Structure formats: structure tokens, C-alpha cells
Amino acid sequence: ARLPRLGGSADFAALPGDRPVYLYGASRGGRILQLELARWGNLVLAGFLDGLRTGEAWGLPVTPPEPVAETLRGATVIISSQYVSEIARRLSPLGIADPYNAYPFITRQLRAGEP
């Protein structure tokens, strides 16, 4: 299934502001999205998800999605990695069927020379 995409800054305005946001991917793409989310006062970044690492990134927790699956079902999950299909397949059995694909936004920012 085609995931909802975030391609430009205006797309972030349409995100629901009544739930926490988790970014799947705690590397450069995650940092780009963290900086963009900070521009929107109604969006609260709760942490990062990652399949390979745990700990902390840019002041927020990093965890695999499985231990926090119940929390994620009531959150906005945004994929901040080029491995969109693989990540979506990992999230689907956890009940997260429609994460946002922010890779188009990330690639646009990288081409423009953003962080």
C-alpha cells in the first residue's frame, strides 16, 4: 500500500497535533525531521525508533518499535529513512499500518544543502 508522504514543509501542517510523534530512523534523516518538527508548535517529538540502536539521539530516547508498540498505535509515526518499505513491513505486524514516508522531504532538504 502507498504510504502518506511528507514532501514539503506545508505537509507538516496537516499532521495531527493531538498525539506524540515518533521518527523511525535516528541518523541524519531523523535529525533533519527533528529540526523541521521544532518549527511547528503543535507537534511534539517524543523520540526516535530504530531497528539497530538504542540509547539517545539529539536529547531524545532511541528504542526499537516492538517494546513501545502499544504507544505507537496512538502516535504519529514518520519514517525518516531510505528503507521505507522494509520499515513499513516491520511496523505493520505491530498495528502501525499507515506511517508517514518523509524520505521525499529529506532528499529535498539534502539537495538544498540543509543539515
pLDDT, tens digit (0-9, with 9 covering 90-100), for 16-51 = 999 999 999 999 999 999 999 999 989 999 999 999
Task: Judge residue 15's burial from the number of C-beta atoms within 10 Å of its C-beta, 0-12 exposed, 13-18 middle, 19 or more buried.
Answer: middle
Give the pLDDT mean for 67-90: 95
* 31 vs 4: CA distance, rounded Å: 20
Do residues 47 and 21 touch, judged by C-beta distance below 8 A?
A: no
* 27 vs 44: CA distance, rounded Å: 19
Tell me the whole-structure pTM to 2 decimals: 0.94
C-alpha 95: how far from chain center: 16
Q: Per-residue pLDDT for 89 more than 70? A: yes
Query: What is the reported pLDDT for 115?
Result: 60
